[in-house]
């Protein structure tokens, strides 16, 4: 159980030392309201070298979009990460919710380019009935990614009572019960954190996030359950322990799971009263991420990876372990990706 | 079955305002030069919307001899039923004909921000001000602003804006058009262009888009609720108007731009301010832990107890603070702005 802790410390040490072959790393953050409403687009640039970096950053956006500026000059100290703002002044939304953005950094005679399919990760206002059906979710903004040929789609809503999440998992088989102690099961793991927080690198540090784990059950004797794995204030060492789920059930979260053909739909409503630091209001930003555990199919699916997090943003303290999870040797990507509450996509 | 159909048809007619032969234009007596303009703003917060509406309406009525000429409503109750009850409460005190406004993400008064379960009312009275109002229904504004939908949406909204403006006959004493529409940014852009096709590019227009939260999108015209609609109020009289707008998309800039917009409007106003009308972006409010932080500098710039009436919107109308804003055009329909109109004499 505690055998995971030394591995975590070792990984954190390696991650801190890791440097890429390129002088800087680039990432465009998720948009937190629909692009047509003109939000800021944030570009992260990290100096991965041991010398100062001086250069310019150019951004290219989809046709028909206009930014307040497309170029910024930057100076970065060794190891420094800077968040650059580009205001979207005109844009069109699309139903795929994928927007191709190219960022080029040129400095010190080196050119670094990254092209991303940026998403709008935002929850419109709506109060869905939690019944496991996706019929009321057409007005939510779909965030999709494919892992080893299987699609995962995340949709979110908010209302003054709850943050509502629908995750559609395309998969071959669904394992809902462990028959042996070491058997793995299907589940969806959700992490929510206040904006401006970061995952600590010390296991003794306190957590600043919430983690929930909806698990399906189609038995007459046992209903689908949501477990609360972590809350702010808990020691992060907890995240490294492969805990049994017994005793962690959170009945405050409404949950319904349905399985149709090859898609399992997890629908839940997490009351904001469990997360008082996240105020439900339009324009509010926070961090949210999803892991999908598909033990007899793709294994672990990570939204953080699909959202373009950097390879060194894997962190063993970013997600809780639990008995039956699908984690492999490498720790998962960080549990913080940008998310927002908006009014509507209309 | 037949009875059910009749009841349903009656409800639909009542919602549309047809049940009592609603006219889509309305006006007060014209203004008299040199006469006074009386302004009052009240707010009430109560989980019971009927009680809040009644309380606010009574408080407003008590501030005028003979009652207000026109009332602007900004309210933030959840769901159609609560909004209907609020309107019933207001109508139990004030005549329905003079009630206009919309569902918003919150209201602004000199006392701060009033959001959940709250209503704010602005009342105008006096022979120095005249008001003409119009309603435009069926804007055709619903649907996402996508590559294939944006052009037809823009055409429909521009045409609707022009129809709305044509319903209001112009006069030499017109000073300011206040527009409240069910048109989330960027849809408010073509709506304003349509209005300007009729009124001209330099006529002062200010306003905002109603809440676009599911089940909350209503504009109010003569005390009735309408979706997919826009209301325009033309204020005329012997007073001056100064407009300013500033944009911010991050918390650190929200407070600074509120102060800057107020300062610009104040600097350009001829005379002393008697009312500050504010249309602010709900997204800006969402960036602040304490929305009142934005109201403090507005009060500081105005220096005295000038009545403030404002609301948090899903798109704002006024002078745009964007890189492509044409200097020949006074007002635009945009997002992420605080728009301020100072009325003074």
Q: Using a CB–CB cutoff of 8 Å, tell me whether B218 touches chain A.
A: no
pLDDT at A282 over 90: yes
User: Who among A87, A95, A126 is closest to B249 (CB)?
Assistant: A87
Q: In this complex, do B282 and A282 lie within 8 Å of one another by their Cβ atoms? A: yes
Q: Using a CB–CB cutoff of 8 Å, tell me whether B145 touches chain A.
A: yes
Of A68-82, A121-135, A171-185, A253-267, the range with the lowest mean pLDDT is A171-185
Mutate to test the interface with B, among A89, A93, A96 (most CBs of B within 10 A): A89
* Spatial contact of A197 and A287, defined as CB atoms under 8 Å apart: yes
User: Who among A126, A160, A282 is closest to B283 (CB)?
Assistant: A282
Domain boundaries, chain A: 19-118, 121-341
Specify the pLDDT at position A182.
74
Specify the pLDDT at position A219.
74
Q: Using a CB–CB cutoff of 8 Å, tell me whether B78 touches chain A.
A: yes
Q: In this complex, do A346 and B289 lie within 8 Å of one another by their Cβ atoms? A: no
pTM as predicted: 0.92
Mean per-residue pLDDT, B160-183 = 97
Residues with Cβ < 8 Å from B7, sequence gap 6 or more?
Answer: none
User: What are the backbone dihedrals phi and psi of residue B76, each rounded to the nearest 5 degrees, phi first?
Assistant: -135, 55
* The dihedral formed by the CA atoms of A239, A245, A250 and A256, expressed in degrees to the nearest 10: 110
- Quick: pLDDT tens for B267-290: 999 999 999 999 999 999 999 989
CA-to-CA separations, B313 to B73, B105, B136, B307, B316, in angstroms, rounded: 13, 6, 19, 19, 7
Q: Using a CB–CB cutoff of 8 Å, tell me whether B116 touches chain A.
A: yes
Mean per-residue pLDDT, A224-234 = 96
Q: How far apart are the first and last CA of chain A?
A: 49
Rounded to whole angstroms, the Cα distance separating A142 from A98 reads 10
From chain B, the residues in CB contact with A38 under 8 A are: 185-186, 249, 334-336
Specify the pLDDT at position A3.
45
Rounded to whole angstroms, the Cα distance separating B220 from B99 reads 7
Nearest chain A residue to B315 by CA distance is: A37
Residues in chain B: 345
Averaged confidence pLDDT in chain B:
93
Q: What is the CATH number of domain A19-118?
A: 2.60.40.10
Q: Using a CB–CB cutoff of 8 Å, tell me whether A94 touches chain B.
A: yes
DSSP single-letter state for residue A274: G
E strand intervals along B12-170: 25-27, 38-45, 70-75, 99-103, 107-109, 112-114, 118-125, 129-136
Percent of chain A with pLDDT over 90: 86
Mean per-residue pLDDT, A268-290 = 96
- What are the beta bridge partners of residue B133? B26, B233
pLDDT at B14 over 50: no
Q: Class of the A121-341 domain?
A: mainly beta
The confidence band for B9, taking pLDDT boundaries of 50, 70 and 90, is: very low
Q: Using a CB–CB cutoff of 8 Å, tell me whether B284 touches chain A.
A: yes
pLDDT at A139 over 60: yes
The confidence band for B40, taking pLDDT boundaries of 50, 70 and 90, is: very high
pLDDT at A16 over 80: no
Q: Using a CB–CB cutoff of 8 Å, tell me whether B341 touches chain A.
A: no
pLDDT at A13 over 80: no
Of A145-159, B10-24, B129-143, B201-215, the range with the lowest mean pLDDT is B10-24
Two domains, one topology: A19-118 and A121-341: yes
Q: What is the ipTM of this complex?
A: 0.89
């Amino acid at each position: 159980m505690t055998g995971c802790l030394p591995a975590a410390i070792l990984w954190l040490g390696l991650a801190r030392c890791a440097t890429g072959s390129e002088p800087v790393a680039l990432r465009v953050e998720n948009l937190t309201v629909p692009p047509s409403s003109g939000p800021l687009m944030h570009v992260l640039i990290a100096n991965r070298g041991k010398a100062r970096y001086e250069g310019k950053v150019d951004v290219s956006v989809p046709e028909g979009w206009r930014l307040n500026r497309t170029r910024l000059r930057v100076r970065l100290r060794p190891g420094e990460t800077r968040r650059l703002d580009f205001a979207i002044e005109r844009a069109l939304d699309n139903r795929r919710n994928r927007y191709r953005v190219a960022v080029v950094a040129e400095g010190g005679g080196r050119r670094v380019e990254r092209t991303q399919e940026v998403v709008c990760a935002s929850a419109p206002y709506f109060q869905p009935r939690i019944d496991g059906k996706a019929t009321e979710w057409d007005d939510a903004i779909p965030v999709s990614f494919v892992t080893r040929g299987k699609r995962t789609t995340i949709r979110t809503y908010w209302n003054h009572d709850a943050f509502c999440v629908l995750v559609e998992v395309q998969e071959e088989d669904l394992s809902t019960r462990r028959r042996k102690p070491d058997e793995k099961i299907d589940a969806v793991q959700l992490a929510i954190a206040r904006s401006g927080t970061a995952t600590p690198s010390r296991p003794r540090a306190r957590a600043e996030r919430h983690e929930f784990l909806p698990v399906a059950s189609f038995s007459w004797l046992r209903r689908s359950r949501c477990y609360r794995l972590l809350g702010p204030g808990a020691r992060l060492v907890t995240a490294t322990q492969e805990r049994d789920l017994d005793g962690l059930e959170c009945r405050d979260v409404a949950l319904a799971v349905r399985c149709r053909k090859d898609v399992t739909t997890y629908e839940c409503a997490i009351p904001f009263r469990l997360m008082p630091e996240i105020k439900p209001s339009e324009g509010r930003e926070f961090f949210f991420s999803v892991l999908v555990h598909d033990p007899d199919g793709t294994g672990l699916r990570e939204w953080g990876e699909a959202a373009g997090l950097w390879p060194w943003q894997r962190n063993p303290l970013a997600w809780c372990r639990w008995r039956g999870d699908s984690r492999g040797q490498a720790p998962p990507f960080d549990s913080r990706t940008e998310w927002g509450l908006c009014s509507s996509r209309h | 079955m037949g009875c059910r159909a009749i009841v349903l048809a009656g409800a639909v007619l009542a919602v549309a305002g047809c049940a009592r032969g609603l006219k889509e234009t309305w006006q007060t007596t014209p203004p008299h030069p040199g006469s006074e303009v009386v302004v009052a703003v009240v707010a009430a917060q109560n989980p019971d919307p009927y009680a809040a509406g009644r309380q606010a309406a009574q408080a407003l009525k008590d501030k005028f001899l003979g009652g207000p000429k026109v009332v602007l409503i900004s309210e933030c109750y959840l769901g159609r039923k609560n909004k209907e009850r609020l309107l019933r409460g207001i109508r139990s005190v004030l005549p329905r004909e003079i009630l206009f406004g919309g569902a918003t993400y919150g209201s602004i008064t000199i006392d701060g921000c009033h959001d959940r379960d709250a209503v704010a009312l602005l009342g105008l009275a006096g022979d120095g001000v005249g008001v003409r109002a119009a309603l435009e229904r069926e804007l055709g504004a619903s649907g996402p602003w996508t590559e294939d939908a944006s052009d037809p949406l823009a055409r429909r909204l521009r045409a609707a804006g022009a129809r709305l403006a044509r319903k209001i006959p112009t006069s030499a004493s017109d000073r300011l058009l206040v527009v409240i529409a069910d048109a989330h940014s960027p849809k408010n852009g073509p709506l304003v262009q349509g209005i300007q096709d009729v009124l001209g590019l330099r006529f002062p227009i200010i306003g905002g888009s109603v809440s676009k939260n599911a089940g909350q999108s209503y504009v109010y015209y003569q005390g009735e609720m309408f979706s997919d609609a826009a209301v325009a109020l033309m204020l005329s009289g012997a007073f001056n108007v100064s407009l300013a707008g500033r944009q911010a998309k991050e918390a650190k800039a929200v407070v600074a731009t509120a102060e800057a917009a107020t300062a610009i409007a104040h600097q350009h106003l001829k005379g002393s301010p008697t009312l500050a009308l504010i249309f602010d972006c709900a997204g800006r409010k969402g960036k602040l832990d304490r929305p009142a932080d934005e109201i403090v500098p507005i009060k500081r710039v105005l220096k005295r107890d000038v009545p403030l009436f404002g609301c948090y919107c899903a798109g704002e109308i006024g002078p745009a603070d964007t890189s492509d804003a044409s200097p020949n055009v006074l007002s635009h329909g945009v997002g992420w702005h605080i728009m301020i109109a100072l009325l003074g004499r």
